Amino acid sequence: MTTARTTGIGTGTGRTRLRPPPLPEARGPLSAAVLTALRGDGTGLRAGAGLPADLPVYGDDPQLALYVLYELHYQGFAGVPDTLEWDSGLLALRGALEDRFLAALRADVPVAPGDTAEGALDELQLEPVGDDGGLSHRLRRTGTLRELREYAAVRSLYHLKEADPHAWVIPRLRGRAKAAMVAVEFDEFGAGRADEIHAQLFADLMTDLGLDAAYGHYLDAAPAEALATVNMMSLFGLHRALRGALVGHFAAVEVTSSPASRRLAQALRRVGAGDAAVRFYTEHVEADAVHEQVVRHDVVGGLLESEPELDGDVVFGIRATLYLEDRLAARLTSSWKAGTSALRPAGPGTG
């Protein structure tokens, strides 16, 4: 097994944290102000604060600030009162960050008047010619154990809450779309078995790879590109006005999951990973092949049957997902090609 010295991600304990994770380290003045407010050391930010016009929206500082504010709606943080989830000042700041994030995404993934969800979903099923496209292709061909461990550490922020933000859309759907969404989510949450919840299967993968499976453990190590993929889910999930985008995101994940999972399972077998690590992806090969059809025909189809005006929003959700995933893939692969770690320097919570 690759050692902690060469990976920068430490040795796993095999435990799953049952308490909220600790607050992360700040990455700039904005996230520092948020963390200070959550620790109760200051009130200026909670009274409201403007954002600079040149804010680097996809950068570490604003993405961490947004991630921390969103996490108050999930597991929270150790020592942070639950009542701060609905603090009006923090919500105002979150809203300002969301406005910038959403505006940047809309600018970077424009939707033309003639674009349709059907066309966008068809595009997702076009595999690249040869074996040169996509992160999963690279990992299947040449990924090392160190790279796969780093990939799992970074993706843990997504996979350990995998189905949670999608659940927020359920009360905003109706009829066929709602029934189908609940059916897919039922599988994601283990079909009634706690040990089969997909987030738990990913925790098992992490333990198999010698990583720490505690929720939120690798937040300090994850680059901004990884935070953005999770923040987008939360953004879409928490706003009824973005229900179409959330459905589009969900569809993009389910349609692309099965072939990518097959390649990642092959990569893990090639480097000698154990059964638990491989199982997370083999489970998704089968389950998501079925989910793909249900999501496409019943979730997306049912939503647009009742609310056809949301077609463009679904397209936006699909394309925004691909855009942020491509940014994350580029960050990881550029680091690995340079022979360096894709993780941020070790600090509290990364060892």
Give a yes or no: residue 343 inside a domain. no
- pLDDT above 70 for 131: no
Whether 144 is in a domain gets the answer: yes
In a domain, 2, yes or no: no
Q: Is the pLDDT of residue 290 over 80?
A: no
Is position 13 within any domain? no
Exposed e or buried b per residue across 184-223, where buried means at least 16 C-beta atoms within 10 angstroms of its C-beta: bbebbbbeeeeeebbbbbbbbbbbbbbbbbbbbbbbbbbb
For residue 65, being part of any structural domain is answered with: yes
Q: Which one of 73, 108, 143 terminates a domain?
A: 108
Same domain, 76 and 122: no
Domain count within the chain: 2
Q: Are 157 and 272 within one domain?
A: yes
Please state the rounded mean pLDDT for residues 239-262.
Answer: 94
CATH number at residue 225: 1.20.910.10
State the pLDDT at residue 16: 52
73 shares a domain with 135: no
Confidence band, pLDDT 50/70/90 cuts, at residue 332: very high
Last-in-domain residue among 108, 131, 164: 108
Q: What is the pLDDT of residue 185?
A: 93
The whole-number average pLDDT for the span 310-332 is: 97
> Which range marks the domain in which residue 141 is found?
117-337
Confidence of residue 6 (pLDDT cuts 50, 70, 90): very low
Alpha-helical (H) ranges within the chain are: 4-7, 29-38, 60-71, 88-108, 117-124, 135-142, 145-159, 164-167, 175-188, 198-208, 224-238, 243-270, 275-294, 301-306, 311-337
Compare 110 and 47 and report the one with higher pLDDT: 110
The pLDDT score that the predictor gives to residue 41 is: 73
227 lies in some domain: yes
Q: Please give the pLDDT value at position 283.
A: 87
Question: Rounded CA gap, 232 and 70, in Å?
Answer: 10
Same domain, 276 and 239: yes
- Per-residue pLDDT tens over the stretch 14-30: 445 568 999 999 999 99
- Domain-embedded: residue 11: no
pLDDT (0 to 100) of residue 93: 94
Average pLDDT estimate for 116-142: 82
On whether residue 229 sits in a domain, the answer given is yes
